[in-house]
Structure 1
Amino acid sequence: MKTIRFGIIGCGLMGREFASAAARWMHLQDMRARPEIVAVCDTNPGLMDWYSDHLPSVRLKTTDYRALLADDQIDALYCAVPHVLHGDIYPEIIASGKHLLGEKPFGMDRAQNTAIMAALARRAQGQLIRCSSEMPFYPGAQKVLDFARAGRAGEILEVECDFLHSSDINPDKAINWKRMVGVNGDYGCMGDLGMHVCHVPLRLGWAPDTIHASLVKRVTSRPDATGARVPCETWDNATIHGRVGDGPGAFPLTLRTWRIAPGESNTWRIRILGMHGSAEFSTKSPRQWQFMDYTVGSPQCWQVEDLGYQSLFPTITGGIFEFGFTDAILQMWAAFVDEAAGGDARGFPCATPEEAAKHHAILTAALTAGTEDRVVQVEYHT
């Protein structure tokens, strides 16, 4: 099996998830390649020890990400740094010729994303660039995708996609960089969660033409490391209402990115309603999806199917067991590694740079629409 040597830039939560996925690679079956983490980088040296303690393959630890770019013993990079750094680091990674899986939102704002896309125009032949988005790799999400792709919905009535957190309802939760406009960006919750809700609609070709948005900011200050209250600057919740298409076939698309969703932990949901059929999946019920096929005059009955463990990339897990978040991470990485090794990701690649650019167009329009309380035309760059 081919080995793809990875470096990690940004050793926080998601870097550790990737390391765990790499360590679990034996869980997958019939893979054409495997990742090996050989280098890690973070501005906080203390975060890197966890990797070297758990992964004997790590031979380089550094606070300078450019050392990874210059290392010809590294084939690919995973970059998970605060949004403000994307605009500088991602183009440099692309210029290095290494494969890149970059964390969302692929630029703090549209200007940064435009710079990243300009760098992509000069990428090396065969260089793979993708954006992180793991939720569509749940089996239920794949069922909904297949349902829509097969045309079983018929004419679309409405589509909704949500990503819902609840921890920010606590006003005493300590502030972090995602609550700071200078580091997270003006998008607020949309920048952090927007790719999650845009990925499936965009993959199905449902890009909204116009946008209206309701932006909510409820917690205006939070404690810092000393306990002092400091400004909490970013949007807590955003509900984006889009219109896809024109004429009689147009339909509404609703995208919710909420950090204050009472009672929710980490819920992702997709719901498609159509004249001939409807389908829904939520991570609240990870082993089930719901669907309805309708013919004229017949009863309208939702069906629930128990899926068990049915993954895009086969694993050693028995089909009677349950799929979870770490499995979705593993499947996303399997798709990236398969593509990097010349495969087709079994027909479902990770989010593309073009999809990331379109999601920036949507979020930029939503920010304008929400702050100015008006409907805004989405401007997609060609």
Structure 2
Amino acid sequence: MRNIGFGIIGCGLMGREFASASARWMHLQDMRARPEIVAVCDTNPALMDWYSDHLPSVRQKTTDHTTLLANDEVEAVYCAVPHMLHAGIYSDIIASGKHLLGEKPFGMDRGQNAAIMALLHGREGQLVRCSSEMPFYPGAQKVIDFARSGALGEIIEVECAFLHSSDINPDKPINWKRMVDVNGAYGCMGDLGMHVCHVPLRLGWKPHSVHASLVKRVATRPDASGARVPCETWDNATITGTVGTGAAAFPLVLKTWRIAPGESNTWSIRVLGMEGSAEFTTKSPRQWRFMRYARGGAQCWQVEDLGYQSLFPAITGGIFEFGFTDAIQQMWAAFVDELAGGDARGFHCATPDEAAEHHAILTAALESGRENRVVDVEYAR
């Protein structure tokens, strides 16, 4: 098994999750390669100390990402920075020739995403992917396989949701995701949109038009000094798209909610068809539900307790439960497997093209929500 030298740009929460996943690489079985974090970068030097304290492999700490990109030990980069920095730093990474797994939304808006996409043309052999870990849950994979098998028949409706609840407290201090100049005008859609678009887009369910209901419920939040300052971005978005035409058309419902009473980062997918239906939610990580319907027969949901059934085999026994940190590691396993010449076991990380398509959906949804009308989605040609 060969080592792949990684650099991390942006040493906050998600960077630490990757570091933890790489430190537990022995958890996985039969891998082609392993990530070795050799360099870290952040404009806040204090954040980098955690990495050098816990990972002996870290040999470079820098506040300048171009210095990290000049490091020959770094083959691939994980970049997790605020949205306003995506266009500049992602472009520098791509220009350097390093492989990239970047955080969503892959550009603060569609214009910035287009600038990133333009740099990718003609770069054969350079792997670029977008972060999206939730579909790596075993139950999500079951729903995906069910849909791919044709078991749905004619589709009635598809819904994918990411419900985040920590922002229901109006006294929670403001952060950059509430600031348009840092997060972007998408608001909750920018940070959560790839979570709900990844699987539908992977399965070919691209809405040709959307209608969005955008909600801004908390007007102000306290800043570091305790003063109330404006919340500039949307709290919740419910997007209803139309996929297909004529009698075969069906609604695709996408929910990105930062204020979701009683929820705590719940991701779910539900696919309903005339011959079969299936659903999974992270609230019940061990299980998925499905129904196979024959004309005139009973309409009975079945529940299967999956236990630990990961896409990439691991040492955990099947009787145990799969969780978020496992999903993160499985996503990274897919990326590393591709870097080492594999096929990510048939389910690779979100692609730049999928990120561009999700920008097309979010751009149309933002216009729809502002103007309260149905808007056509204009995909790049």
**Structure 1 stretches lacking a partner, 5+ long:** none
Tell me, which stretches of 5 or more residues in structure 2 are unaligned?
A: none
Alignment of 1:129-144 (within 5 A): 129-144=128-143
CA distance in 2, matches of 1:12, 1:191: 18
Give the residue type in structure 2 aligned to 1:145. Answer: I
Report the Cα distance in structure 1 between the residues aligned to 2:159 and 2:73, rounded to whole angstroms. Answer: 44
Residue 280 of structure 2 is matched in structure 1 by 281
What is the alpha-carbon distance in structure 2 between the residues aligned to residue 30 and residue 292 of structure 1? 34
Q: Kindly indicate whether the alpha-carbon contact (under 8 Å) linking 1:160 and 1:254 is maintained by their aligned counterparts in 2.
A: yes
Secondary structure of the residue aligned to 1:194 is helix
Aligned to 1:303: 302
Which whole-Å deviations, capped at 9, do the CAs of 1:279-338 have from their partners, x for residues lacking one?
000000000000000011110000000000000000000000000000000000000000
Q: How many residue pairs end up in the alignment? A: 381
Specify the SS of the correspondent of 1:268.
strand
Q: How does 1:61-210 map to 2 (within 5 A)?
A: 61-123=61-123, 125-210=124-209
Letter in 2 for 1:110: R
Q: Report the residue type matching 1:247 in the other structure.
A: G
CA offset digits 1:162-217 (Å, max 9, x no partner)? 00011111000000000000000000000000000000000000000000000000
| Partner Cα separation in structure 2 for residue 348 and residue 58 of structure 1 | 30
Partner residue in 1 for 2:333: 334
2-structure distance, mates of 1:334, 1:165: 26
| Structure 2 equivalent of residue 293 of structure 1 | 292
Quote the residue 1:14 is aligned against: 14
Encode CA deviations 1:128-184: one digit per residue, 9 max, x unaligned: 000000000000000000000000000000000000011111000000000000000
| 1:356 corresponds to | 355
Query: Aligned residue for 2:379?
Result: 380
Aligned equivalent of 1:240: 239
What does residue 227 of structure 1 align with?
Answer: 226
Task: Find the aligned partners of 2:122 and 2:147 in 1 and give their Cα distance.
Answer: 35
Q: Is the 8 A contact 1:137 1:312 kept in 2?
A: yes
Aligned to 2:58: 58
CA RMSD after TM alignment: 0.5
Counterpart in 2 of 1:3?
3
Corresponding residue for residue 29 of structure 1: 29
One-letter amino acid of the structure 2 residue matched with residue 358 of structure 1: E
The CA distance in 1 between the partners of 2:246 and 2:230, in whole Å, is 45
Misfit runs of 4+, over 2 Å: none
Q: Which amino acid aligns with 1:85?
A: L
TM-score calculated relative to the size of structure 1: 0.99
Query: d(CA) in 1 for partners of 2:119 and 2:20?
Result: 30
Counterpart CA distance in 2 for 1:65 and 1:85 is: 11
Q: What is the rounded CA distance, in whole Å, between the counterparts of 2:203 and 2:186 in structure 1?
A: 24
Paired amino acid for 1:4 = I
Cα distance in structure 2, aligned partners of 1:226 and 1:39: 34
Q: TM-score, normalised by structure 2?
A: 1.00
The equivalent of 2:49 in structure 1 is 49
What secondary structure is seen at the aligned counterpart in 2 of 1:241?
strand
User: Which letter does structure 1 place at the counterpart of 2:27?
Assistant: H
8 Å Cα contact 1:91/1:120 also seen in 2:
no
Q: 1:333-369 CA distances to partner (integer Å, 9 max, x unpaired)? A: 0000000111000000000000000000000000000
Cα offsets for 1:250-293 (capped at 9, x unmatched):
00000000000000001000000000000000000000000000
Alignment correspondent of 2:316: 317
Task: Check whether the contact 1:8–1:15 (CA below 8 A) recurs between aligned residues.
Answer: yes
Whole-Å Cα distance in 1 between the matches of residues 138 and 315 of structure 2? Answer: 15
CA displacement at 1:71 relative to structure 2: 1.1
- Looking at structure 2, the residues matched to 333 and 296 of structure 1 have their Cα atoms a distance apart, in angstroms, of 42
* Code of the aligned partner of 2:39: A
C-alpha deviation, 1:122, in angstroms: 4.0
